[in-house]
Structures are given as structure tokens and as C-alpha cells.
Structure 1
Amino acid sequence: LQKEREREREQLRKQKEKERLQKEREREQLRQQKEKEAEQRRLEREQARIAAQKAREEERERKRQEAAEERARKLAEREAAREEARRQKEEERARREAEREAYRKAKEAERERLRAEREAARRALEGKVARASKRLQRGDGLLGRGITTTRVYRPEAIPDQSGTTRRIPEGAAVRPLGVRPPPLPQLQPQPAVTTPPTPPTTEAGAAAAPTVAQPTPTESAQGPEPSPEGAEKTEQTVSAPSQPAELERAAALTTPKPVEPTRATPPPPPSSLGIEERYQRILERLANADPAFQREYRENFDMSWIYHDSALEGVVYTYQELKTAIDPNVQIVPDSSLQPACEEIRRHRQAIELVRELAERKRVPITVDTIKRLYVTLHPEEGDVKTVKYRKDIPQHRLYFHEYAAPDKIAYRVRQIVDWLNGPEPKKMKNPLRVAARVHYDLVRVFPFTTDSGKVARLLMNVILLRAGYPPAIIHSTERQRYYEALKGQLPVIIQMVADAISN
């Protein structure tokens, strides 16, 4: 019995041990399964993380490529826009050159036509004179004496040139320009024409016009020039008379009337007032005038300003071009050949109006933008004040022989001029004329822009003068060579020229 109990206990113990081992195996299997599942989940998470990281890398790379493509596209667009602007500018320049060439050819054709007309008129007149001479020779054979012809000039046909020459110091010898000295009288028994006395000279150096005048050297070489209004010079040919009454009438025609010498008007006494007071008096008298006179005065003044200022740059406008561009009633230029010149003249007048506007705003300081604004007004195709560029090269001009600023020094030199103008030294000088002339001189020697730097410098000079109460300084076109010679380094000459231009 005890052995059976022992056996039962042993079996029970073995069974428990077996169950325990079974449970341990099950636990081990469950643990392994959990570890496997955990490893599986870890691998899945790792794969998901790697996939997400790869996706993020791909997204970043895609965005980087898109940004690079966008930059390349914008760069290409900017380059295309720049190229288009450059192409348009080249086309505009070519168009302007073509218009200028067409205008030059039209002017040349017009000059050729006028030259041909003058030549035809001269030949016709020579033929007429030859025929009249033959008739006189035939009459001379019949009557025994010759009757010459007399060329009679109407007094109003001879232009008044007073005031067109430079002032001449008192006591200096004045020789009339363009007046042929009278020929010596011929020793004939009965002279047909008496030589008039030498006409007296006026203060300005121009000869007073007599009723009967000798032909000038130009007329003697080329023949008389026909007038558009009619024949300013009438040639009276006296044929051989056949009766005494006709002889008396022919003698009356060929004998000139005595000429009364024209007395020169004495110059007004010098005024004791300064330039500013005299200019203010002119403005007051102009303000009291009627509007029509004011408008005509302003138009003529602007035409003179534009003509002489452009002539200094080598561009000479005709009266027709100036009048067509200035006239407010002409909105559309009827002649296409005048279109380029009229556009330049109108832009120049806009710049003059800007000068007057800046002169009235005395509290606004003159800056670099003021200089650029004057240039952009003359050349709107160059952009605006923010985008206009200084020149990038050294200009070559047959008249500009003075020193230029290097392209990389232009901005600094222009700022230096503006800083000096707004500094204390001009106030110490107490002479606006010298200040304006020096600013003009320095700016022209910098030559900041490719074209019309001289115009911009003179416009800026007149802004300073008008702010100080002075009239604008318009340097006469006849002073062109002296002006360019002074730009080589003669500032006192420039100051004297500006003073002469104001007081003229």
C-alpha cells in the first residue's frame, strides 16, 4: 500500500512536472510569439519610417527642382524681357535714324530744288539782261550813245541787321559787313547812273539801306535770289527811245533820286540798376501786357532759347520747324519730314518749362534726381529717374576735346557737384552767376550721359540763375567755338560768357 501511494505520488509528481513543463513551453512559445510580433511591428515601423523619410526626401527634391525650374523660368523671362527691351530700343534707334536720314534727304532734295530754281531764275535773268543789252546796243547804234540799266532795290527788301552782331567797344573802327564799296564814277560825257554815297553804319555794325544799292559780291557771283513773295529786286531796262519825250522819260528813269543818309539811333544811356532789378521790371511790364502779346513773347523767347542751345550742340533748326513745334494750334505735324525735329523741339520746350517750375520751387534742393529728371525730359525713351543710366563709354565727338570723367567715376563726380552746390561754399561766394557757371562747367566736364549732357548742364545752370532772380543765360550760337575752347579748362571764360549772355 505504501508502495502504491509512493507510485501514485510519483505519477502525480511526474504529471505535475509534465504539466509544468508544458506550461513553460507554452509560455516560452507565447513569449517567442510576442517577441516575433514585436519584432515584426518594429520592422514595420522602421519600414514606415524609412518610407516616410524617403517620401520627404523625394518631396524636398521635387520642391528643389521646382524652385530651380521657377528660377530658371524667371531668369529666362527677365532675359527675354531685357532682350525684347533691347530689341525695341534698337528698333526705336533704327527708326529714329531712318527718320533722320529721311529728313536729311528731304532737306537735301529741298535745297537741291531751291538751288535749281535759283539757277533757273539766274539764267532767265541773264538771258533777259543779254536781250536788253542787245536792244540797247542796237539803240546805241541809232542814237549815238548808250543807256545802261539800273537795278533798283526797294528799301523794305533789304533786311535790317541791326542788333545781330556782337557789341563793339566805343572808338573801334566798324566796317559794314556784306556791303560792297561803291565803284569809282566812270568818266563819260553823260553818265546814266550816279554812284550813291557810302551808307552810314549803325551802332550794331550794319549799314543803313539806301534806295539804290550796288549788288553784293554774292549777287555778282551767283545772281539775285528770287523772293517767295514776289520780285524783291526789279530790274528796269530802258530801251532806246525814238522821240525827245521818250528820251526825257528814259533819263528820268535812269537817274536815281538823291538818297538821304539814315541817321543811327543813339544808344540808350546805361542804367544804374542791377540785372535783377532790370529783369524784374521786364517781368512786371510783361505781366501788364495783354495775353496775346505775352503768348507771342513767350513763344519767340522759347524759340530763340531752343535754337541757340541746340546750335551749340551742332543741331540747327529752321524757322518752319521751330514754329510748327511751338505753335499750340498745331497738334499733328502735317509734313512727316518735320516730325523728328518737332518731337525734339517739343521735348526741349518741356525741359524749359521744367526749369521754370524748378525755379519757382526755391525751397526744394537740387539733387542728383533733378539732373536725371532734366535728362529724362529730353529723352523719355531712356526710362524714368530711377532707371536712367549714366554713360558706359567714352564719347567721341569732333568738338569735344576736353577731359571726361571715367564711366565708373560719373556717379561720384555728379554727387560731388550736387554736394558742393548744397554746401556752404556757394553761400560764401555771394554771386549766383559764378555758382551757376561753375556748376555748368563741372557738369559738362563730367559728361554724365551719352547725349545732350551739355543741354542738361545749361538747363541746370538756368535753374540756379532763375532761383536767384537772374534772367536765363542763352549762349549765342556764334560763340560756339569759343565755348568749346573754354571747356578745355578756362572757367573764367565760361563765367564771362554767361555774364555776357545775361546782359546781352
Structure 2
Amino acid sequence: MNEKLYSKNTPNLSEKEFNELSKMKAKFNHLFAEIMDNEDIYLLKIFPNLLDLKEVYEQLTDLKKCIDSFRPLNQSQLKNLQESFDTEYTYESNRIEGNTLSLMETDLVINKGITVSGKTMQEHQEAINHKEAVLLIRELAQNNQKLNETTLLKIHAIILHNIDPENAGFYRRDRVRIQGSNHVCPNPIKVPNLMYDLFDFYAESKDTMHPVELAANIHEKLVSIHPFIDGNGRTARLIINLILLQNGYPITIINSDRDKREEYYKALEAAHLSPDRENINNTKFQLLMAKYVKEWTFKYLNMFAPSIREDAQDKGYYFFKKIEPLLKL
């Protein structure tokens, strides 16, 4: 063993575990091309898709422990990863709502300040606003700011900044309908009290409910109330990610491709119209959200696991122990 690599100050690892970790990492990197042929496939062998929600949440907890085993994450690598994911998140979330900027165009607008010809100024502003809102939820999560009315309205104000200043950061004062949905949104007079109930539900559930389950339920309830004249979907998806970030999960992105978007809307619709929705039994929507969280947790692990940085030599023990059966191929 190279004594320079091992330190008695190495957190939570004995010298034996450090040696074991080094061997597993060497094997992983040797087999990397083979087991990473499809980056999801190899992890699905250890974390298969499940239909029982209790088992799903236990699996997500285990995946979070895998991410935790790489913490503290390398800051330069994390910054690069976040910038890439935040651009993709902005593109996908806005595209769900009809924004026509491509992923590359979104990057040009929000990261390079370039105006894209043939696209409306509102589409540019939507991209800029969403990126600012993502930066805000990262800051809120870092400061452990809990979800409340002030937080929600601040996020919404950014989403509609320079688009609809009259309604940005304010609950709606008019009746609305969700296009293509049979769900009837509540009268605007009821919105403040319904939102009070939502925040009360969050406060009562945040320490007892699995964070992924909580995020899915808050999203469903928020979209059902439809508290804003516009920007409800983007705001709800930001709230999902605020809750996930607060609990150590990565930002999760819902795919905006037509079939995926329809799947998302249909699951939401089923939850809205379910007679059991007040009993928090919207299994279809919860499973869909859990699937996306799992997918993006995989992406994070696939970025950090192959690292050969010196500061990564003592990280990932829990993860590599979980995938050890694959390293015996």
C-alpha cells in the first residue's frame, strides 16, 4: 500500500476499508467501458425498477447514501456538472410549457448572453428567468430555507419577471382552466386558504414523509390548486427540486419529449381526479416522480464514480460495495 494515499484522518474508513476501496475502484475503472455501455443498465442490475412505493423509497434512500459516500463533492467538478444540468433543466422545463428554444439556443441565451434570431423576446426571458430561479433554489437549499409562502412567491416572481409584472409573485385573481384537462381549478377566492393548507401539510410532513414522496405530493397539490395565472408548472417543478436539494438529492429533470410530456400530464391528471387524492394515494404520479429522481441520481453517480482525482481516492466506499457484484464480471 502507498502510505501517502492513506491517512488516519480519512473520514469513516479504516485502513482495511481504504485498501478494499482502492481495489474496487481499480476494477471499476478497468471494466468501465464494459459496464457503462448504457449508463443506466449497470445500475439497474443493482437497483432494479420496482412498483411497490415503500420499496421504491427505500431504494432511493440507498441511492442517496451512494451519493453521500462521494461527499464532499469536488467543487470544480460539481460546478461544471451543475451548469450543464441547470441548462438542460431550463430547456426541458420551459419546453414542457411550449418554449421553442433548443438546448443549444438555451445555452447561448442563459450562459453566453446571445440573442437567438427567430425566437421571441418572451422565450429569451423565460430562459433567463428560469436559470435565475434555479440559482435561487440552490441558494435556498444551501441555506436550509424551508418552503413557505414567501419562498414560493419569490420563485414565481422570478419566473414571470419582465413577462407579466402585474401577476409576478401574486396569487391569481381570476378563474383558470388547465388546457386539455378535466380538472376544475378552485375559485380564486379559495386559493389563499388552500395554499395555507398546502404549507401546513408540508410543515407536518417534511420530517416524517420520504422527501421524494413529499416533493411529488407538494407538486401535485400545487398544480391542482393552480394558484397563479401563469407559471404554475415551472414553479411546481422548481419546488420539487427545492425539496430534493434540501434533502441531498440532485436536481431532477422531467423529460419534455412529446410522449414523456404526455405521460407526465396524464399522471398528474389521474392524481387530480383520483377519489383517493386526499389520502395521498396517487401511486402513478408518485412512481413517475420517483423514476425521474432515480434516473438523475444515476447520472450523478455516473459522473462521480469514475473520478481518478487525488481528492476522490477515499470516496465512494458505500457505492462501490453496492455494485461489487458487477465488479466480479
* TM-score normalised per structure 1: 0.42
Q: In 1, distance between residues paired with 2:63 and 2:150?
A: 30
SS at structure 2 position matched to 1:399: coil
Pairwise CA RMSD: 3.1
Deviations 1:69-118 (A, max 9, x none): xxxxxxxxxxxxxxxxxxxxxxxxxxxxxxxxxxxxxxxxxxxxxxxxxx
- Per the alignment, residue 500 of structure 1 pairs with 291
Q: Does 1:274 align with 2:49?
A: no
Pair 494,316 (structure 1): closer, same or farther in 2 beyond 3 Å: farther
Among 393, 399, 402, the residue aligned to 2:174: 393
Contact 1:321 1:341 in 2 (8 A): no
Supply the AA of the counterpart residue of 1:370. T
Give yes or no for the alignment of 1:411 onto 2:195.
no
1:295–1:339 Cα change, 3 Å: farther
Q: Which residue does 1:472 correspond to in 2?
A: 251
Q: Which amino acid aligns with 1:499?
A: A
Q: Equivalences for 1:404-443 in 2 at 5 Å? A: 404-423=185-204, 425-429=205-209, 431-443=210-222
Q: Following the alignment from structure 1 to structure 2, what is the Cα–Cα distance between the partners of residues 428 and 297?
A: 31
Q: How is 1:148-187 mapped onto 2 (pairs within 5 angstroms)?
A: none
- Give the structure 2 partner of residue 444 of structure 1: 223
Contact 1:473 1:501 in 2 (8 A): yes
Whose relative contact order is higher, 1 or 2, with alpha carbons under 8 Å and at least 6 apart? Answer: 2
| Residue 428 to residue 393, structure 1, CA distance change in 2 (3 Å) | same
Which position in structure 2 is the counterpart of 1:454? 233
Q: Say which SS state the counterpart of residue 428 (structure 1) adopts.
A: coil
SS in 1 for 2:98: coil
For the residues of structure 2 that align with 1:415 and 1:266, how far apart are their CA atoms? 43
Equivalent runs, 1:294-443 vs 2, <5 Å: 294-327=78-111, 330-331=112-113, 333=115, 335=117, 337=119, 339-362=121-144, 364-381=145-162, 382-383=164-165, 388-423=169-204, 425-429=205-209, 431-443=210-222
My pick for the range that moved more, 369-378 or 486-495, is 486-495
2:186 aligned counterpart, secondary structure: coil
The aligned runs of 1:169-318 (5 Å cut-off) are 267=42, 270=46, 274-281=62-69, 284-287=72-75, 291=76, 294-318=78-102
Contact 1:475 1:497 in 2 (8 A): no
CA pair 400-314 structure 1, distance change in 2 beyond 3 A: farther
Residue 315 of structure 1: how far off its partner (Å):
2.6
Matched AA of 2:214: V
Distance in 2, Cα, partners of 1:461 & 1:436: 5
Paired residues in the alignment total 234
How far the C-alpha of 1:460 sits from its partner, in A, is 1.0
Question: 1:340 and 1:311 mapped to 2: Cα distance?
Answer: 13
Calculate the TM-score normalised by the size of structure 2: 0.62
Residue type of the partner of 1:348?
H
Relative distance call for 1:448 and 1:300 in structure 2 (3 A) is same
Which amino acid counterpart does residue 357 of structure 1 have in structure 2? E
Contact in 1 for aligned 2:93/2:256 (Cα 8 Å): yes
1:313 deviation in Å? 2.0
Structure 2 gap segments, 5+ residues each: 1-35, 48-58, 272-281, 296-329
User: How far did 1:321 drift?
Assistant: 1.9
CA distance in 1, matches of 2:222, 2:69: 32
> Is the Cα–Cα contact under 8 Å of residues 172 and 188 in structure 2 kept in the other structure?
yes
CA distance in 2, matches of 1:441, 1:390: 17
Q: 1:482 aligns with which of 254, 263, 272?
A: 263
Larger radius of gyration: 1
Conserved? CA contact 1:376–1:384, under 8 Å: no
